[in-house]
């Protein structure tokens, strides 16, 4: 991903710190220091262990008085602790932290940017370290080369680092004093290689992987292994530490570290002779990433990608971090942090001389993780709704209102992330039941909608939006949305498509429609589209500017010079287009944002004018200006596709992200069916094709298991809870768009399998991994929203939707208990759980449903079904009973009416009266929209019976 203006500090890296409680509470007079910041890396999004504050409070009463005092010193919120190791370059030591206090509530790019007030207090009080130094050997094996032994191209690097505060000198008590009473550097370590080690010859197995990211390391001199039994057994048999490196194909800093370190022979020699090195794609194995990212965040106060962790042979974490500079790095600010080769030497010496202490520390960490996670997850709520009331929406709104940027839109400080789940919440506030508006306030609901609309407008016009092609970049480095990191991710496109459809349904404005169409076209006909069904994962930020270039540049595919505008467009069109897209002779990227001169004279396109303003300035008709801009876009796109080198495409199909895309494209197809039927059909056909592809290739009908990824052929990794949850969501939306019962049948089967594999029968909620997973040290739950909705947030809404559509009240109960599993956290910070808030509305006020039974060939029915879909009515479940298929004995409709007896009754009434039947339910009450109410039958005047305005009025009246 794109570098930021400075190395990411604690606040910029802010995430939800993991819940970790250490058993190592020995001790001695403590000296506390704020945790040092991590190196520049890819920004994080919230990660969490789902352990309730209530359980922590219970534990507090059981702990010793010294621990209580420590908790009070560390944070006013609920702190958690861990032991671990950290390298101190200043003291030439590996420091054992006993303990680290980490706030369970939001601490420190993501949360600080979204919630700076909370993050500010937590980042300055919640993360402290009681340090005990373990001096380490100053040399290691004789064949290790110096850090200056090679000169390799370093590629793109971050901007100059800001200095960080130096921690106080560590105390020399407890474990450190026992290992080294004089606190002096130990004698050089003997070579680590034993006779058996010399016989171990590793080969690079990265080429065996399906992941484009992992396979991209196949030519490294590092002997990369895959995360499998073979590699883990090697580590155990030869008693080597595991070096685990996690990243993803579009990760900018992953590429930088590969060039600097993993292509370096000296680094490779140390890794191959002393470690078992394993490369993992975080998109393929998010479970592994989640566990060890939690550890790194806990022991360093920050995190990101590449994620690099050293493990014992039994997978327990010892030491970790993100990007570390390689030998001869050109990365500005690299001197302020230890180099990777330096760290390797220290760890080799530590493992050689103090292996038992390292293992002891790792055991402490994992024991504490497991103990506290297990204890917290056994908490059950005793209240019916546990305080989960509508006023939580008002609290969440107030928080976003305080963070809103009235100048540029968005929330918090730079870098800015779109966070679609939060935008959807704000857009929909005023469209929930009247009770919500009464509690939150009409003015507040309107303000929430305007904040979201303004943000979406700024994003659509900003550099984060590909103004020439399609789609959105991952995030903006600047507050004005104009300097993006250029990577494009499938999950962003899928969610933003749905949000822009929301905005269009609320306003009818062309800008939101055009942007939604742009995203949908990107998914269905551009780089992410896979022939035969499915959507690829991402496009990289880095690329070659033109064929034959030796080095990649960030954003090279997307930026333009004024000279290129003149050459491609000619006068006067170039002048008009340049003024429209803010193209300047010497570029529009601030030099302070461009440490390596990648953007000299380059322009990131953003809309800064309107056709009307240009018409006035250039004294030409507005219609002519519009045509000039349209022509300019086509010429620039043709030039870009012909002359530029496309960024790397990660062409694996991830089930969960494809589920999101299916749902959004289905929504777009339904919403646009009346006004843009050709586009609507294309989007819906694509969603159907992808659902069919996933079922045919990644789903086992006999076992009900889905696979996580497809690339060339199905992967070997079974799906995780997010794969089930997001795919179920997509199928529910696809049913709403097609009224084909087969999608509900599959959704029901998947939901049953998700419950069987992932549901916690003791403490409720869904784990991210199944109980059968054997290669993990922890089993976690996901409750917080990040770049994607949380697993449990999506699952709660799926359960409510299927409960309504299939008349399964037990799943409504499960939705409630799923949310209750996070009730303490939700009550404290509802703005972190926005995907759960609509479910809370549903549970408190009841679902909205509309049942229509009739003849689909009737043009009035067809037209009015489109009207039902054309307005934004959150969580309105529409069920259409196709009487032609019912009378024809369609098995799908037979199955559906057996599940939902209301539909059987509706079909029976149509048979008796010969007229269409419509019933709406809201607020726990139902009303039949009858001939007597409308004054006419459907056949005579469908608008009177099924006009959306009438149905909305009925719904509002019932609420």
Residues spanned by the domain of 875:
847-932+945-958
Q: pLDDT-based confidence at 537, cuts 50/70/90?
A: very high
- In percent, the amount of the chain with pLDDT more than 70 equals 75
For 323, counting Cβ atoms within 10 Å of its Cβ (0-12 exposed, 13-18 middle, 19+ buried), the class is buried
Q: Among 349, 373, 397, where does a domain finish?
A: 373
Residue with more model confidence, 647 or 545: 647
CA distances (Å), 301 to each of 11, 333, 759, in order? 9, 19, 31
How far apart CA 259 and CA 253 sit, in angstroms, is 10
CA distances (Å), 574 to each of 30, 614, 943, in order? 66, 13, 50
Q: Is the dihedral angle over the CA atoms 766, 772, 773, 774 positive or is it negative?
A: positive
Residue 419 lies in a domain: no
Residue with more model confidence, 477 or 18: 477
CA distances (Å), 49 to each of 18, 83, 762, in order? 5, 17, 16
Q: Is the pLDDT of residue 212 over 80?
A: yes
Q: Is the dihedral angle over the CA atoms 371, 377, 383, 388 positive or is it negative?
A: positive
CATH code: domain of residue 288: 3.40.30.10
Q: pLDDT-based confidence at 373, cuts 50/70/90?
A: low
Residue 588 lies in a domain: no
pLDDT, tens digit, 9 for 90 and up, residues 299-355: 787 788 999 999 999 999 999 999 999 998 877 777 778 899 999 999 999 999 999
Q: Are 121 and 107 in contact (CB under 8 A)?
A: no
Choose among 726, 727, 665, 669: nearest CA to 694: 727
pLDDT, tens digit, 9 for 90 and up, residues 420-439: 999 999 999 999 999 999 99
- What residues pair up with 209 in beta bridges, in sequence order? none
How far apart CA 497 and CA 512 sit, in angstroms, is 10
For 862, counting Cβ atoms within 10 Å of its Cβ (0-12 exposed, 13-18 middle, 19+ buried), the class is middle
Q: Are 520 and 497 in contact (CB under 8 A)?
A: yes
CATH code: domain of residue 902: 3.40.30
Q: Are 821 and 799 in contact (CB under 8 A)?
A: no
Helix (H) or strand (E) holding 413: none
pLDDT of 597: 82
DSSP states along 852-884: EEE-TTSHHHHHHHHHHHHS--TTEEEEEEEHH
pLDDT, tens digit, 9 for 90 and up, residues 99-140: 333 323 222 333 334 443 333 322 222 222 233 333 433 333
CB atoms under 10 Å from CB of 579, counted, come to 15
Q: Give Cβ neighbours of residue 599 (< 8 Å, ≥ 6 apart).
A: 555, 559, 587, 589, 593
- What residues pair up with 86 in beta bridges, in sequence order? 95
pLDDT, tens digit, 9 for 90 and up, residues 376-424: 455 555 555 568 999 999 999 999 999 999 999 999 999 999 999 999 9
pLDDT of 946: 43
How far apart CA 951 and CA 956 sit, in angstroms, is 9
**Mean pLDDT of the residues in the chain:** 79
How far apart CA 470 and CA 500 sit, in angstroms, is 14
Q: Is the pLDDT of residue 805 over 60?
A: yes
pLDDT of 4: 29
Q: Are 589 and 2 in contact (CB under 8 A)?
A: no
Strands of the 317-321 sheet, one edge to the other: 275-281, 241-247, 307-311, 317-321
Q: Is the pLDDT of residue 941 over 80?
A: no
Q: Among 352, 373, 394, where does a domain finish?
A: 373
Residue 603 lies in a domain: no
Residue with more model confidence, 126 or 741: 741
Maximum pairwise Cα distance, the chain? 97
Residue 417 lies in a domain: no
pLDDT of 490: 97
Residue 869 lies in a domain: yes
Residue 432 Cα to chain centre, angstroms = 26
Contacts 24+ apart (CB under 8 A), 524-529: 524/665, 524/682, 524/683, 524/686, 526/469, 526/470, 526/471, 527/488, 527/646, 527/649, 528/471, 528/488, 528/490, 528/493, 529/686
Residue 327 lies in a domain: yes
Rg of the Cα trace of the chain? 29
Choose among 720, 579, 717, 712: nearest CA to 652: 712
pLDDT of 458: 98
pLDDT of 379: 53
- Numbers of helices and strands, H then E, in the chain: 38, 22
Residue 761 lies in a domain: no
Q: Mean pLDDT throughout 859-874?
A: 79
- Residue found under tokens 């784990």: 767
Strand pairing report for 275-281 and 241-247: parallel
Instruction: Output the six-digit token pair for 676.
Output: 């843009």
Q: Among 373, 403, 431, where does a domain finish?
A: 373
How far apart CA 254 and CA 726 sit, in angstroms, is 27
How far apart CA 875 and CA 701 sit, in angstroms, is 29
Q: Are 231 and 311 in contact (CB under 8 A)?
A: no
This model's pTM is above 0.85: no
Q: pLDDT-based confidence at 371, cuts 50/70/90?
A: confident
Which range in 421-435, 855-869, 930-944 is most confidently predicted, on average pLDDT?
421-435
Q: pLDDT-based confidence at 940, cuts 50/70/90?
A: very low
Q: Mean pLDDT throughout 751-755?
A: 98
- In percent, the amount of the chain with pLDDT more than 90 equals 61
Choose among 393, 396, 376, 386: nearest CA to 78: 376
For 704, counting Cβ atoms within 10 Å of its Cβ (0-12 exposed, 13-18 middle, 19+ buried), the class is middle
Q: Give Cβ neighbours of residue 211 (< 8 Å, ≥ 6 apart).
A: 249, 281, 283, 284, 652, 709, 711
Choose among 716, 704, 701, 707: nearest CA to 655: 707
Q: Is the pLDDT of residue 522 over 90?
A: yes
CA distances (Å), 108 to each of 104, 350, 942, in order? 11, 31, 56
Instruction: Look at the chain and count its residues.
Output: 959
How far apart CA 911 and CA 831 sit, in angstroms, is 49
Instruction: Output the six-digit token pair for 661.
Output: 């895309």
Residue 279 lies in a domain: yes
SS3 of residue 382 by DSSP: coil
pLDDT of 41: 67
Q: What's the domain count of the chain?
A: 2
């Amino acid at each position: 991903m794109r570098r930021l203006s400075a190395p990411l500090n604690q606040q910029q890296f802010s995430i939800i710190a993991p819940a970790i409680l250490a058993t190592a509470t020995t001790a001695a007079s403590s000296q506390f220091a704020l945790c040092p910041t991590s190196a520049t890396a890819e920004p994080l999004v919230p990660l969490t262990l789902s352990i309730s504050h209530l359980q922590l409070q219970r534990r507090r009463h059981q702990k010793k008085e010294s621990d209580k005092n420590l908790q009070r010193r560390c944070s006013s919120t609920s702190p958690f602790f861990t032991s671990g190791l950290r390298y101190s370059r200043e003291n030439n030591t590996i420091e054992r932290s006993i303990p680290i206090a980490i706030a369970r509530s939001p601490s420190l790019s993501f949360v600080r940017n979204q919630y700076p007030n909370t993050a500010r207090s937590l980042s300055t009080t919640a993360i402290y370290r009681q340090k005990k130094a373990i001096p380490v050997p100053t040399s290691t094996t004789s064949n290790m080369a110096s850090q200056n032994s090679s000169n390799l191209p370093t590629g793109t690097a971050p901007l100059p680092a800001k200095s960080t505060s130096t921690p106080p000198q560590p105390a020399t008590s407890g474990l450190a004093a026992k290992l080294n009473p004089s606190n002096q550097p130990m004698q050089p370590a003997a070579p680590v290689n034993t006779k058996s080690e010399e016989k171990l010859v590793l080969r690079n197995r990265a080429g065996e992987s399906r992941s484009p990211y992992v396979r991209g390391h196949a030519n490294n001199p590092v002997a990369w292994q895959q995360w499998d039994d073979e590699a883990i057994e090697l580590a155990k048999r030869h008693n080597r530490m595991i070096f685990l490196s996690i990243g993803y194909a579009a990760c900018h800093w992953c590429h930088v570290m590969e060039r600097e370190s993993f292509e370096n022979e000296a680094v490779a020699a140390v890794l191959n002779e002393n470690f078992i090195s394993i490369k993992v794609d975080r998109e393929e194995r998010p479970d592994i990433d989640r566990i060890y990212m939690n550890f790194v965040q806990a022991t360093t106060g920050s995190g990101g990608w590449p994620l690099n962790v050293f493990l014992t042979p039994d997978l327990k974490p010892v030491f970790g971090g993100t990007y570390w500079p390689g030998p001869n790095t050109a990365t500005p600010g690299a001197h302020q942090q230890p180099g990777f080769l330096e760290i390797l030497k220290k760890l080799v010496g530590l493992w050689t001389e103090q292996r038992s202490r390292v293992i002891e520390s790792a055991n402490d960490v994992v024991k504490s993780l497991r103990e506290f996670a297990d204890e917290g997850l056994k908490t059950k709520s005793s209240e019916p709704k546990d305080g989960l009331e509508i006023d939580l929406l008002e609290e969440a709104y107030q928080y976003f209102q305080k963070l809103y940027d009235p100048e540029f839109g968005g929330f918090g400080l730079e870098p800015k992330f779109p966070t679609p789940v939060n935008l959807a919440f704000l857009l929909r506030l005023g469209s929930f039941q009247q009770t919500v508006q009464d509690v939150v306030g009409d003015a507040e609901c309107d303000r929430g909608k305007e904040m979201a609309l303004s943000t979406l407008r700024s994003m659509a016009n900003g550099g984060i939006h590909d103004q020439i092609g399609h789609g959105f970049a991952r995030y903006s480095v600047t507050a004005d949305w104009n300097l993006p990191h250029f990577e494009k991710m499938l999950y962003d496109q899928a969610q933003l498509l749905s949000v822009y459809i929301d905005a269009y349904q609320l306003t009818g404005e062309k800008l939101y429609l055009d942007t939604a169409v742009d995203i949908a076209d990107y998914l269905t006909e551009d780089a992410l589209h896979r022939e035969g069904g499915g959507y690829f994962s991402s496009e990289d930020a880095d690329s070659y500017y033109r064929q034959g270039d030796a080095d990649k540049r960030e954003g090279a595919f997307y930026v333009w010079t004024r000279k290129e505008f003149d050459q491609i467009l000619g006068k006067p069109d170039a002048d008009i287009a340049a003024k429209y897209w803010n193209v300047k002779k010497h570029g529009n990227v601030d030099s302070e944002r461009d440490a390596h001169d990648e953007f000299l004279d380059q322009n990131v396109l953003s809309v800064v004018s309107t056709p009307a303003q240009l018409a006035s300035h250039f004294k030409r008709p507005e219609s002519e200006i519009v045509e000039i801009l349209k022509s300019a876009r086509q010429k620039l796109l043709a030039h870009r596709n012909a002359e530029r080198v496309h960024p790397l495409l990660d062409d694996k199909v991830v089930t969960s992200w494809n589920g999101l895309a299916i749902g959004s494209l289905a929504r777009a197809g339904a919403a646009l069916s009346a006004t843009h039927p050709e586009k609507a059909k294309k989007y819906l056909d694509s969603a159907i094709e992808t659902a069919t592809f996933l079922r045919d290739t990644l789903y086992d009908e006999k076992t009900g298991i889905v696979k996580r990824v497809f690339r060339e052929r199905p992967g070997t990794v079974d799906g995780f809870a997010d794969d089930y949850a997001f795919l179920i969501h997509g199928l529910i939306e696809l049913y709403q768009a097609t009224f084909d019962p087969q999608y509900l049948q599959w959704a029901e089967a998947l939901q049953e399998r998700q419950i069987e594999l992932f549901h916690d029968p003791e403490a409720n909620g869904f784990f991210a991994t199944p109980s059968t997973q054997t290669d993990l040290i922890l089993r976690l739950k996901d409750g917080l929203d990040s770049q994607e909705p949380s697993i449990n947030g999506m699952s709660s809404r799926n359960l409510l939707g299927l409960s309504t559509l299939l008349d399964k009240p037990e799943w409504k109960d499960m939705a409630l208990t799923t949310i209750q599993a996070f009730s303490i956290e939700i009550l404290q910070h509802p703005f972190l759980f926005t995907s759960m808030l609509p479910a809370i509305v549903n549970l408190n006020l009841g679902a909205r449903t509309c049942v229509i039974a009739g003849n689909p060939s009737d043009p009035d029915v067809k037209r009015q079904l489109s009207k039902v879909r054309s307005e934004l009515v959150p969580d309105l479940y529409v069920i259409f009973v196709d009487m032609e298929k019912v009378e024809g004995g369609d098995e799908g409709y037979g199955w559906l009416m057996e599940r939902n007896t209301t539909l059987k009754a509706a079909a029976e009434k149509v048979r008796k009266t010969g007229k269409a039947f419509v019933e709406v339910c809201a607020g726990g009450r139902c009303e039949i929209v009858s001939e007597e109410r409308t004054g006419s039958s459907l056949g005579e005047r469908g608008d009177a019976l099924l006009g959306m305005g009438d149905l909305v009025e009925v719904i509002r009246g019932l609420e």
